[in-house]
Amino acid sequence: MPAQSISLGKNNPSRLCPDSVGAWRPLRDSSAFTLVELLAVITVIGILAGLTLGAAGAVRRHGATSQAKSEIEALRAACERYYADFGFYPSNTSANPEITWNPANYVDAGRVLYTNLLGVNRWNITATNGAKRYFEPKVAMVYTNNASQAPYFIDPWGNAYGYYSDSTNSPLIWSTANGSKSTDTNKWIISWPRL
């Protein structure tokens, strides 16, 4: 008669190990995690999440900077079209970048620029008397909080674009790139060449 193998199941000697007093106890089930393993996994996930969120913030900042550069270039081109028709640029001398760095001081100059480039001083109103529109802004680029005052152009950070022109020289258009003090001028996005 052939020998029969006997399955011992959980009491199989290959699944038991001796403990300190010589008795046999079951091995740890291999599907469980120890606390140290769980902490290691959580730490790795935390590090990866931190790297990902940091990179996402850098991508957002780079995107806002690129958007501001393209909007400044579009505004500059619109001013050149205005100049081609009238022989002068929209003028406003109240926001000279050498004197004023605070975006709150750019609002009046921005309203002059808005009114001249759109031919009207209100958002989404058709210009009368056949006035030509030199610029078609995106909705997010126009600040309109007060129906009694003309809107003005804002940068991706929500601050007014700076605008300065004496009507004869090419205008200066800039964004403070969300800078908070006068020493942040090296971060500005500008329409003139850096020296």
Convert 64-126 into a string of H (helix), E (strand) and C (coil): HHHHHHHHHHHHHHHHHHHHHHHCCCCCECCCCCCCCCCHHHHHHHHHHHHHHHHCCCCCCCC
Whether 9 has a pLDDT exceeding 80, the answer reads no
More confident: 52 or 130: 52
SS3 9: helix
Question: Does residue 185 form part of some domain?
Answer: yes
- Which residues span the domain enclosing 114? 69-190
Q: Record the tokens describing residue 129, joined without a space.
A: 């008397």
Question: Does residue 9 form part of some domain?
Answer: no
State residue 52's pLDDT score.
85
29-42 burial string, b = 16+ CB within 10 Å, else e?
eeeeeeeeeeeeee
Question: Does residue 57 form part of some domain?
Answer: no
The DSSP letter of residue 167 is S
Nearest 10 degrees: CA dihedral of 166, 168, 169, 172? 40
In total, how many domains does the chain have?
A: 1
State residue 81's pLDDT score.
93
Sheet architecture: strand order including 172-175: 162-164, 172-175, 189-190
Give 44's pLDDT tier (boundaries 50, 70, 90): very high
pLDDT tens digits for range 132-165: 888 888 888 988 877 677 889 999 998 889 898 8
Question: Does residue 134 form part of some domain?
Answer: yes
Question: Does residue 173 form part of some domain?
Answer: yes
Question: Does residue 17 form part of some domain?
Answer: no
AA letter at 101:
W
Cβ–Cβ < 8 Å for 191, 172:
yes
Give 74's pLDDT tier (boundaries 50, 70, 90): very high
More confident: 146 or 56: 56
Q: What number of other Cβ atoms are within 10 A of residue 68's Cβ?
A: 23
pLDDT tens digits for range 90-133: 887 666 666 667 778 888 888 888 888 887 766 656 655 667 88
Q: Which residue's entry shows tokens 């780079």?
A: 62
pTM of the predicted structure, to 2 decimals: 0.68
Q: Which residue's entry shows tokens 């969300």?
A: 178
Give 32's pLDDT tier (boundaries 50, 70, 90): confident
Question: Does residue 96 form part of some domain?
Answer: yes
The DSSP letter of residue 7 is -
Question: Does residue 104 form part of some domain?
Answer: yes
Q: Record the tokens describing residue 150, joined without a space.
A: 């003309």
